[in-house]
């Protein structure tokens, strides 16, 4: 147990279950003494989120401006100040990951970019007014933004938009002493039914293209947002 984040109010968005990267980030931040606020997408994700023993849990479907507004109003009322946000949210339609990229629908393209990239902009806008003591916003990306990984498809485009959004947000919010960063994780083990797809889609190409000559260590990744 450390005290890197003691008395810090940290919002972690995107807990689905114990395989979620957000799950491990919550644990790591709790070990560093943070007051943790969790959001989950909907009823299906609620049970997982409740198991983490966070100080507060809120539902927030990131596609709804109203739910985002309600979230930050509730955080303001309870905590007054926010020190950190960890954005672990992404989604693309299954068919857009299974078909060749060239067949991505207009709707699927808009959906992936809305949930996986624009959501960071909306969340940063809500968070900045509560970060009156300065703060840090961290999101998770993947190298599919820079290189082609068959099957990552529109998510690669969304991650490129996410990374560019990070640059512009960092430029806007730097004056308020708010840092904005993206951590590019390597492929991480997921919920069992996803494993086979991930193996074929990410691991095999990743082992060929990896930048560092080692694979990602989940525990190291989960601790990184505590430092940023
Ligand atoms: N697993 C990997 O190998 C890997 C590698 C690099 C980056 N990432 C990134 O890490 C982040 C977390 O992914 P994960 O691997 O933990 O998977 P995950 O499925 O556990 O997390 C994705 C989260 O996004 C949430 N979400 C989707 N649509 C939403 C919506 N409309 N409103 C609110 N929440 C919504 C889901 O509920 C889920 O909690 C994602 O941005 C992902 O792209 C994952």
Here the CATH number for the domain that contains residue 46 is 3.40.50.720
Residue 96: inside a domain, yes or no?
yes
The predicted model scores a pTM of 0.89
Give the integer Cα–Cα distance in Å for 174 and 110. 29
pLDDT score for 213: 53
pLDDT score for 1: 73
Residue 228: inside a domain, yes or no?
no
Q: Is the dihedral of CA 14, 197, 18, 135 positive or negative?
A: negative
pLDDT score for 195: 47
Residue 3: inside a domain, yes or no?
no
pLDDT score for 79: 97
Residue 1: inside a domain, yes or no?
no
pLDDT score for 48: 87
Residue 85: inside a domain, yes or no?
yes
Question: Count of domains in the chain?
Answer: 1
pLDDT score for 202: 53
Q: For the chain, which residues score pLDDT lower than 50?
A: 195-196, 199-200
pLDDT score for 96: 97
Catalytic, 168? Answer no
Q: 113 CA to middle of ligand 1, Å? A: 13
Q: Which residues contact 194 (CB under 8 A, 6 or more apart)?
A: none
pLDDT in tens, 115-171: 999 999 999 999 999 999 999 999 999 999 999 999 999 999 999 999 999 999 999
Residue 2: inside a domain, yes or no?
no
Which residues share a beta bridge with 13? 39, 87
Ligand 1 binding pocket, CB closer than 6 Å: 14-16, 20-22, 41, 45, 61-63, 88-91, 115, 140, 142, 185, 187-188, 190
What is the extent of the structural domain holding 34? 9-223
Catalytic, 152? Answer yes
């Amino acid at each position: 147990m450390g005290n890197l984040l003691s008395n810090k109010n940290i919002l972690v968005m995107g807990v689905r279950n114990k395989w979620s990267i957000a799950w491990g980030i919550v644990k790591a931040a709790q070990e560093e003494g943070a007051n943790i606020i969790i959001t989950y997408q909907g009823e299906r994700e609620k049970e997982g989120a409740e198991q983490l023993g966070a100080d507060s849990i809120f539902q927030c479907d990131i596609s709804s401006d109203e739910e985002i507004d309600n979230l930050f109003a509730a955080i303001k009322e309870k905590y007054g100040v926010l020190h950190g946000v960890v954005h672990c949210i992404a989604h693309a339609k299954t068919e857009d990951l299974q078909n060749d990229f060239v067949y991505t629908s207009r709707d699927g393209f808009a959906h992936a970019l809305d949930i996986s990239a624009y959501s960071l902009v909306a969340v940063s806008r809500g968070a900045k007014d509560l970060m009156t003591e300065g703060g840090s916003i961290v999101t998770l990306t993947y190298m599919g933004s820079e290189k082609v990984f068959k099957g990552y498809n529109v998510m690669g485009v969304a991650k490129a938009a996410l990374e560019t959004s990070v640059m512009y947000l960092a430029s806007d919010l730097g004056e308020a002493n708010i840092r904005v960063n993206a951590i590019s994780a390597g492929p991480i083990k997921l919920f069992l039914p996803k494993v086979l797809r991930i193996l074929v889609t990410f691991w095999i190409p990743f082992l060929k293209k990896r930048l560092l000559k080692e694979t990602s260590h989940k525990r190291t990744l989960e601790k990184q947002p505590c430092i940023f």
